[in-house]
Structure 1
Amino acid sequence: MEEYGCFIQYLKLSKGVVENEPRWKNEAITVEGLGLVNPKNVYKFYNDLHSHLASAGIDGVKVDGQCLLETVGACSKQTAIVRASEDFFPREPVSHTIHIASVAYNSLFLGEFMLPDWDMFHSLHQAAQYHGSARAISGGPVYVSDAPAKHNFDLLKKLVVPDGSILRAQFPARPTKDCLFSDPTRDGVSLLKIWNINKHTGVLGVYNCQGAAWNSVARKNTFHKTKSEGITGYVRGHDVHLISEVALDSNWNGDCTVYSHRCGDLVTLSHNVAMPVSLKVLEHEIFTITPIKVLAPGLSFAPLGLIDMFNSGGAIEGLKYEVIGKGYEVEGNSNAEERLQKLSIEVVALVSMKVKGCGRFGAYSSAKPIKCRVGLSEVNFAYELASGLVTMNLHDMPPKDQKVHSVEIEL
């Protein structure tokens, strides 16, 4: 290690950290210090390490312990990522609901100046869907620490597209405004709602986190008595705090479509109308929320994205609406005024989207599309008249030189 100029760095703990958690005085990392590579040699160190691993057939690594909240004052000079919670503990049932609540509320603070990391999880685990869905909407990194051959690929496919990338949201996820002063871990009546935003859609995760909390007497997390039946909460379009910023209409009236990942239901919600959702402990639901674009009277549209993935709207990289009016005169002899009254307008709308990844693509349309195209090819699609759900299959990844699919829907 001599060629990398390594040295020992001792932690500088503030009085507040020591008062809140006295154990830090005797932590090995405090007493014995931490070995670090000279920043000038970091590139060479990682290049040598990763080259060796790559030659052995390894194509990915997990780097842990890059930043500690207790030392964020000094680490944040060179890195912008910080763990937002305690570790993921696969063998501690008491930890799972608390983990989701902790990362969401901590991100409210940390997300203003750091990139919160919601930690790894196991894809083959009884709470894997619960944890995985939260990572998908977190806005941070998504990674698992599965043991070899112990994977749930059905779950992983909801998180990662075939090229290894994720559908990452735009910001650190945070609790909704109506959750800020409730306690969804122990009040027995509250669900936790977590929002984030994509380029053209919003995403809202709803979690039942009741049943366990920090015990200040025992100084550890413990279970407490809670309801076994479901708790009912309510979802609104403006639960996604910045939803108006992705509406491609300065006169948007607040109407949204809401797609349920777990149930596969699509509904439209008028401005400020609430939709009930009931969940038992350790249950969750992910909603894709999209502003409805009114293209013409009786003709409206809202994209959803790759609807089999948790953060479906993260697949939509570009969105453009074009409305074309075609006029024609009704047959018959009449004067100019009568002809004007008999003039009919046929409205044709073209929705153009840039879509990342592959899978089942969905959108809301108030009318059955005339045709759908992927690239230059017209493709089959399904349309549910009752809900307005349009679906089509993007069977393959986009060509490497394009990176995204060009999807067009004509209405």
Structure 2
Amino acid sequence: MAFLATYPPLAQVTVLNDPNIAIHAVLEVPPETATEPWQLSLWYCNGDGGDWALIEFMADSPNAIPTDLSGTNETATRLYFTAKLEVASSLTFTVKFRRGGKHEWRWVRTEQGSDDGIVVVEQKRQGVESEDLPDLIQDLNPDLRWQSHMSQSPGTRLWSIEATVDGANEDESAVVDIPLGIPWGRFFRWFALVRTWTPWLAPRQGKSEFNLDKDALLCSFLSPQGKHMVLLGMSGVDDVMALLRSGDSGRLMLHIRSDNAGSATATALVAVGDNFESTVATVMYHARTLVTSMAAGTSAALSVAEMTAEGDVSPQWYESWYDGLGYCTWNSLGQELTEQKVLKALDTLAENKVNISTLIIDDNWQDIDYRGNSQWQHGWNDFEAEPKTFPRGLKALISDIRSKHKHIQHIAVWHALLGYWAGLAPDGPLAKRYKTIRVARDEIDKCQLPIDGQMTLVAREDVQAFYNDFYNFLSSCDIDGVKTDGQYMLDTWTSPPIRRTLIPAYLDAWTLASLRHFSARVVSCMSQSPPILFRSQLPHTSPPIVCRNSDDFFPPVPDSHPWHLWTNAHNAHLTQHLNVLPDWDMFQTVHPYAGFHAAARCVSGGPVYITDVPGRHDVHLIRQVTGITPRGKTVVFRPSVLGKAMDVYAGYRQGQGLLKIGAFHGRAAQGTGIVGVFNIEERGVVDFVPLGRFPGVMEGRRYVVRAHGTGRVSVPLEVGETKALLALSLEVRGYEVLCAYPLHAIESRTGGLVLVANLGLIGKMTGCAAVLNTVFEVRENGRMLVDATLKALGVLGVYISALPQLSVRDDFMVTIQGQPIPPHTVALNNDDEHVLNIDIETAWNEMGLESGWANEVEVKVYFDLGR
């Protein structure tokens, strides 16, 4: 079986700025056939509606081939080819190949299900663009009002579209669908984030026909000229929610719901730009401006300054909450939670030397009434834990945990925003303590959660007291965080007046209480509903909180795992602009997709927490995700720029190759570009990752790229070189984490250049994120100093181009905290002779060093440049 990939890729649209292009191909074939005369042909159509033509690929010479960072594969050999041609405005192409002149041609579309690739040559701007919105949206509805605005993102233009909608009555919202038009009149690809159901968003992609199965919050369209048009439906202003949907003939529609008692205005934002991320940023920045200005004149959530003025919010250092390894009881201990199960699980973790920093006691610890036939009808009785399964109460359990497991710094408990899934128990102590109301719930989500009927809620007048009392109780039990779930329930109430009054009351009260009592150590869950997203998460008026970024991790459902990564990576394009830290949910370290999930959590930039069944832990995998600080804390390594999907218009399992998630760590121009690659297909995949696509990588600079899984390090690379194309081959469930490190050039005493890079902790998936600072300096005596400050212990890797000519014993001196380290902790890397391994963890322990006041370690590497 042969597999083929190209760059520019098949099944995608690639925008380039040079009409003279080279199409590179890698063909993976059985080793016994590698010496045969394999042939590749490029079948292409140059321009829009032109004739199709054929040219042959030429085999690459051995010294001008892409860089292979994959592991040794005895079952396949990779062959490389190139075809060069000039593109008019756009190019559509596919590939056919055969083993030799005696064999039949095989089309990639037939063999692998890969659609044609498209290359668009970016049009150069000629002065100020004159098109206005009616020129960009074909058949723009004349009944809509539109106006242009100043864009806050370079290279983009911005408009708002408004529509008037009638007022709601006491029982029903005003709902209307309004035609908008066809973006560009014609487009190559579209991308959307839709409401899969009330709590969650998920991506959708398509080609020239716009056809949504669900209402979308955000849509983007790629024009034949390589431009992006992004539309965002606004919520949280004037009690109106505007979403996007498809209509007849692929027409874009506005779907509007108004809870306002009077006539109101629905708003959608439109931006156009050359770059997808900048264009999304344009609509998100303006949306924040609109929501913030609206909130300034209403009783919206208090700002941090206002809350601090009340004297009950203290500043906190968030490193241990965001950066510590967490453990959640949900999938690990099941839904029949008991005090004994929690204590045994923690003992087992300790016995396996899995030192967590945060514990989340999930659902089923609360005292509920067990009414109805499922948990979705149960109501909450009282603050104290379930007396049968937690007979000693919550405080005694937490006291035992903290006294026995000193490494656990934070303990959080789960609760629904409204108390429990059905609110309060109608006859319970809480319902008697606070003023309550009965509200009806919409049955639209019964296929997801059967939450039919009415629920008992704390009335608006007592909501703030309710949260304050509950969180005071938790604090008295030494609980210092919460996971607040089921927030979407606010958007299931059927009454417009109830939504108008209770949604802001609950959201603002919870935000204020969580900040007062837990200093924002919270996880917001099931809260991707537009009224919540725009009111609580878009404004930057309080410290950011952890917020679930997608639907759940489902351990027993095989198909859910690649989709889980796909969804989170695409949702991040929206959630990166919110005042949240996106949480890609827990995972299990002993699972067929364990490493797959672990790598995704590392590149996500969000928190990392596991839900292992007691005694079932992959300690080796956990060590690739975490490290120990000089003070003995277990931390994870979060990139400073969040991970996001790099090919938003590519469809799920549509022959698009590997899922690529890009992140970045460090300062601009000095930091490390990160690309996590994941095989989401049901077959092996071979693919290219160009150096120029790594986030933060700059033209004209040299880099080395290291693959975490194989340990392989590239030769020095520059954007645009053929060898700067990185070839990867991954089996089903395969993954890899690639890091591009900028090289620092030093002139040696003999006149040659020595290239140096700090690779961070090389045993960690995102070990570059362990680096806090690096200084490269040439000393007066001609020796080189690499001064690295790290947040955790481990094996530090330093790339030195001249290392093969140096002696580790004679030419190097390494110190930690100013003291020389044992010589045996410094050695050449087994995978690459240009990498020096410095085992600072072993050295630290053998030297008996102590952290003192610092929570970091300083490593200085001196070596001779004279050779």
Cα distance 1:82–1:34, how it changes in 2: closer, same or farther (>3 A)? farther
Partners of 1:256 and 1:22 lie apart in 2 by 50
1:315 counterpart letter in structure 2: A
Pair 1:126 & 2:581 matched: no
Q: Which stretches in structure 1 are left out of the alignment for 5+ residues?
A: 54-61, 212-227, 245-251, 327-346
Q: Which has the larger radius of gyration?
A: 2
User: Do residues 271 (structure 1) and 723 (structure 2) align?
Assistant: no
Q: Which amino acid aligns with 2:837?
A: T
Cα distance in 2 for partners of 1:124, 1:264 equals 23
Structure 1 vs Structure 2 CA RMSD: 3.4
Contact 2:523-2:547 within 8 A present in 1 as well? no
1:254 correspondence with 2:701 = yes
Match of 1:231 among 685, 688, 694: 685
Deviations 1:242-291 (A, max 9, x none): 245xxxxxxx8321111111111111322232110111221100112211
CA displacement, residues 337-368 of structure 1 (integer Å, 9 cap, x when unaligned): xxxxxxxxxx4321101012112111211123
Unmatched tracts of structure 2, length 5 or more: 1-382, 384-428, 482-520, 804-810
Q: What amino acid sits opposite 1:136 in the alignment?
A: C
2: CA distance between counterparts of 1:135 and 1:310?
10
Aligned partners of 1:257 and 1:266 also within 8 Å: yes
Matched, 1:171 2:599: no
Which amino acid in structure 2 is aligned with residue 173 of structure 1? G
Output the amino acid matched with 2:819.
S
Is the alpha carbon distance of 1:266 and 1:10 closer, same or farther for their aligned partners in structure 2, counting shifts above 3 Å? farther
Superposition map of 1:80-99 within 5 A: 80-99=545-564
Range 161-170 or range 93-102, more displaced: 161-170
- SS of residue in 1 equivalent to 2:610: coil
Decide whether aligned partners of structure 1 residues 187 and 377 sit closer, same or farther in structure 2, where only a CA change above 3 A counts. Answer: same
TM-superposed deviation, 1:180:
2.3
Query: Compared with structure 1, are the counterparts of its residues 42 and 138 closer, same or farther at alpha carbon in structure 2 (3 Å cutoff)?
Result: farther
| Among 803, 812, 830, the residue aligned to 1:370 | 812
Match of 2:627 among 133, 158, 161: 161
What secondary structure, in the 3-state scheme, does the structure 2 residue paired with 1:28 have?
Answer: coil
Measure the CA separation in 1 of the matches of 2:681 and 2:565: 11
Helix, strand or coil for the counterpart of 2:636?
Answer: coil
Give the corresponding residue for 1:249: none
Q: Is the 8 A contact 2:439 2:455 kept in 1?
A: no
Tell me, what secondary structure is at the counterpart of 1:242? coil
Matched, 1:242 2:701: no
Q: 1:401 aligns with which of 853, 859, 863?
A: 853
1:401 and 1:238, CA in 2 relative to 1: closer, same or farther beyond 3 A?
A: farther
State the 1:26 CA deviation.
7.4
Counterpart secondary structure, 1:46: helix
Matched, 1:32 2:455: yes
Give the superposition deviation at 1:181.
Answer: 1.9
C-alpha distance 375-10 of structure 1, shift in aligned 2 (>3 A): farther
Give SS of 1:319's match. Answer: strand
Aligned twin of 2:252: none
Over residues 188-222 of structure 1, what are the superposed CA-to-partner deviations in whole Å (9 max), with x where a residue is unaligned? 241111111122323221011124xxxxxxxxxxx
Instruction: Within 5 Å, give how 1:44-59 maps onto structure 2.
Output: 44-50=472-478
Whether 2:655 is the aligned partner of 1:207: answer no
Q: Which residue of 2 aligns with 1:214?
A: none
Taking the aligned partners of 2:833 and 2:434, their CA distance within structure 1 comes to 62
| Secondary structure of the structure 1 residue equivalent to 2:641 | coil
Determine which of 709, 716, 740 is the counterpart of 1:289: 740
Q: Distance in 2 between matches of 1:266 and 1:12?
A: 60
How big is the shift at 1:139?
0.7
Equivalent in the alignment of 1:69: 528
SS at match of 1:69: coil
CA–CA separation in structure 2 for the residues paired with 1:82 and 1:233? 33
Q: Distance in 1 between matches of 2:560 and 2:595?
A: 15
**How far has the Cα of 1:320 moved from its partner?**
0.9
Question: Using the alignment, how far apart are the partners of 2:787 and 2:438 within structure 1?
Answer: 55
Measure the CA separation in 1 of the matches of 2:448 and 2:719.
53
In 2, distance between residues paired with 1:278 and 1:301?
A: 28
Residues 41 and 289 (structure 1), Cα distance of their counterparts in 2 relative to 1, 3 Å cut: farther
* Aligned residue identity for 1:210: E
Aligned equivalents of 1:256, 1:7: Cα separation in 2: 64
Which residues of 2 match residues 127-146 of structure 1 at below 5 A? 127-146=593-612
Q: How many residues are treated as equivalent by the alignment?
A: 351
Q: Distance in 2 between matches of 1:358 and 1:203?
A: 21
Aligned to 2:664: 197
Q: Is the 8 A contact 1:258 1:287 kept in 2?
A: yes
Change (3 A) 1:26 1:105: closer
Provide the rounded CA distance (Å) in 2 between the counterparts of 1:34 and 1:148: 37
Cα shift at 1:129: 0.4
The 3-state SS of whatever aligns with 2:642 is coil
State the alpha-carbon separation in 1 of the partners of residues 643 and 526 from structure 2: 19
Structure 1 148/270 Cα, relative in aligned 2: closer, same or farther at 3 Å?
same
CA contact (8 A) 1:10 1:29 kept: no
C-alpha separation in 2, matches of 1:24 and 1:321 = 59
Counterpart residue number, 1:388: 834
Q: 1:324 to 1:122 in 2, by over 3 A?
A: same
Q: Measure, in 1, the Cα distance between the counterparts of 2:595 and 2:437.
A: 39
Which amino acid in structure 2 is aligned with residue 47 of structure 1?
A: S
Alignment of 1:180 onto 2:648: yes
- Conservation of the 8 A alpha-carbon contact between 2:643 and 2:661: yes
Distance 1:278 1:26, change over 3 A: closer
How much does 1:307 deviate?
Answer: 0.9
Return the letter of the residue paired with 2:813: K
Specify the alignment match of 1:59 in structure 2.
none
Q: Distance in 1 between matches of 2:476 and 2:434?
A: 15
- Going from structure 1 to structure 2, the CA distance change for 1:405 and 1:188 (only over 3 Å counts) comes to same
**Distance apart, 1:373 and its partner CA:** 2.1
Task: Report if aligned partners of 1:261, 1:310 keep a CA contact under 8 Å in 2.
Answer: yes
Change in Cα spacing, 1:50 to 1:302, as seen in structure 2 (3 Å) is: same
| Shift in alpha-carbon separation, 1:31–1:239, aligned structure 2, 3 A | farther
Aligned counterparts of 1:115 and 1:146: Cα–Cα separation in 2: 23
Identify if the C-alpha distance between structure 1 residues 135 and 270 changes in structure 2 by more than 3 Å, giving closer, same or farther: same
Give the distance between the partners of 1:159 and 1:7, measured in 2 at CA.
Answer: 47
Aligned to 1:300: 755
Aligned residue for 1:343?
A: none
Q: CA deviation at 1:393?
A: 0.4
Would the alpha carbon gap of residues 360 and 188 (structure 1) be closer, same or farther in structure 2, given more than 3 Å must change?
same
Query: Are the structure 2 counterparts of residues 404 and 129 from structure 1 closer, same or farther at C-alpha, using a change threshold of 3 Å?
Result: same
In the alignment, which residue of structure 2 is the partner of 1:151?
617
Q: Secondary structure of the residue that 2:574 maps to in structure 1?
A: helix
8 Å CA contact 2:709–2:736 kept in 1: the answer is yes
- Between the aligned partners of 1:127 and 1:301, the Cα distance in structure 2 is 36
Q: What is the CA distance between 1:64 and its match in structure 2?
A: 6.3
1:28 is displaced (CA, Å) by: 2.7
For 1:291-340, what per-residue CA distance to the aligned partner results, in whole angstroms no more than 9, with x for missing partners? 111122421111111111111101111111212355xxxxxxxxxxxxxx
| 8 Å contact from structure 2 (residues 524, 547) kept in 1 | no
Deviation at 1:128, TM superposition (A): 0.5
Give 1:145 deviation, angstroms. 1.1
